[in-house]
Structure 1
């Protein structure tokens, strides 16, 4: 019997159940019934992953309190809808997962320096996660590099972290070997290469066989999305000149897109049968 990751096991709900709920909304639920779903239908769908209704209610209530959702009542039923903030998060995440640009490089680096007061330690950690998600690499404790011009995104960060003092420089080295040394210092591409190769080995074998249908297609699609997201958010998507030899990022991306396409119809049909609503094309 095939083993699914911990996300799909019996309660108590693991920490990554949040990612499961986000993937269900990001892939299906926000495209059905104008982005609204009744709590009962949502609980039915989570039961497909062997998550008990009582535990799911607790988690969804917490996510609502954290402004993931807005809710209203219609009769005795509660209706959930993603907040505007979470819609934006899902839009950005989807763009990152489903878009890959292997472009040429102009040779310039963006250097970001920041200072955050010690009393705002949590903000410092959140900013570091945001920088990693945006493709920056950590050169020193408060110095991050990107091989792309990131003025717009840095302005957004300045608005999101007003407590941080930021400075930005554009710079370049004198030769490509120095750039390659910067890459090796800022990103652990050896480990990422290994993880990409494991992804390709696992999902290539799946692609060569008969794919599941119904509930199995949904579970496989969500698992595929979760594995891809974990790799994508660690991948700085470097320009071609800075990529290691035989870099597997593009191969893994194309494999993901092919499998996602093949699983989309049976997985979506299963979701529609559970929630009783049509999922439109995104």
Structure 2
């Protein structure tokens, strides 16, 4: 256990989940820590890295096997050792899931909207398209109409192609409006995106991680393992929040939106613990060639720049 009570609380909270989310934590670990260092590590070193979270070796092996079967990971045998890396599909999923996590800031909004009409899709296909578009930040603004104020058109087109829905979906783009966020628009946003519930989740994130931030700042010397555990749990929880967050423009959000404070806290905590967390990863993880490669240049651009 750590000497930091807030970190122990977070670890215990993770362990008490039923069932324990080992596979999800492994994906967080690959996206946050393994991929920037070449993407491939020995299973034995992964087991050692994950055991402090309370995940035993058997569950880790079972989770790795499941992720391989689901197309997230691929294995390579070198002698008696197995080395795991993200598949091409897994890497693309990771890039979609994580690129919003580490972004420095969101672009300004010009008032334009992207609308997708789904009425020509059959019921089953409409459901799968709706779910995928919601993950990309779209909300249901009318029956069979999904809208997003800041959509990535390339991602949208790729998604519709992948789901074989491109021919039966209708995409509109509106022009910028002089009044970006009228009273009616704000009410519609609260209804279509569940803003109040999401705000509650952000408040809970701040309640959980602010004590850890304060405790770490008070330490004369940061422990490398504590920093790794803190960073992994931080990104694990924040990533899950962002999957629910459409990242709407500020003009459409409440003035006291907790998502702003949560992002600032995440960025500050990540910057604080990353140097020592990287040292712990270098000590613990092995590749087929030995030590981990240096982190990629893109790693140091996370959250607007790391030291």
TM beyond 0.5: yes
Instruction: Look up the SS of the partner of 1:144 in the other structure.
Output: strand
Conservation of the 8 A alpha-carbon contact between 1:102 and 1:240: no
Query: What's the CA shift for 1:170?
Result: 2.5
Task: Look up the match of 1:204.
Answer: 210
Q: Which residue of 1 aligns with 2:162?
A: 160
Alpha-carbon separation, structure 2, partners of 1:112 and 1:97: 25
Q: 1:110-259 residue pairs with structure 2 within 5 A?
A: 110-114=114-118, 115-118=120-123, 121=124, 124-163=126-165, 165-171=168-174, 176-210=182-216, 213-259=223-269
Q: CA deviation at 1:155?
A: 0.9
Q: In the aligned structure 1, how far is the partner of 2:134 from the partner of 2:117?
A: 14
Q: Distance in 2 between matches of 1:133 and 1:11?
A: 23
Counterparts of 2:46 and 2:279 in 1: how far apart (Å)?
15
The count of corresponding residues between Structure 1 and Structure 2 is 277
TM superposition shift of 1:259: 0.2
Give the structure-2-normalised TM-score.
Answer: 0.79
Structure 1 unpaired stretches of 5+: none
* Conservation of the 8 A alpha-carbon contact between 1:104 and 1:241: no
**Match in the other structure for 1:39:** 43
Structure 2: stretches of 5+ with no match in the other structure: 300-307
CA drift at 1:47: 1.9
Alpha-carbon RMSD: 2.7
Q: TM-score, normalised by structure 1?
A: 0.86
2:276 matches 1:266: yes
SS in 1 for 2:147: strand
Stretch moving more, 233-242 or 271-280: 271-280
Asked whether 1:23 is paired with 2:28, we answer: yes
CA distance in 2, matches of 1:11, 1:57: 19
With over 3 angstroms needed to count, the CA separation of the structure-2 counterparts of 1:104 and 1:87, relative to structure 1, is closer
Paired residue for 1:73, among 77, 80, 83?
77
Q: Confirm or deny: 8 A CA contact 1:103 1:240 kept in the other structure.
A: no
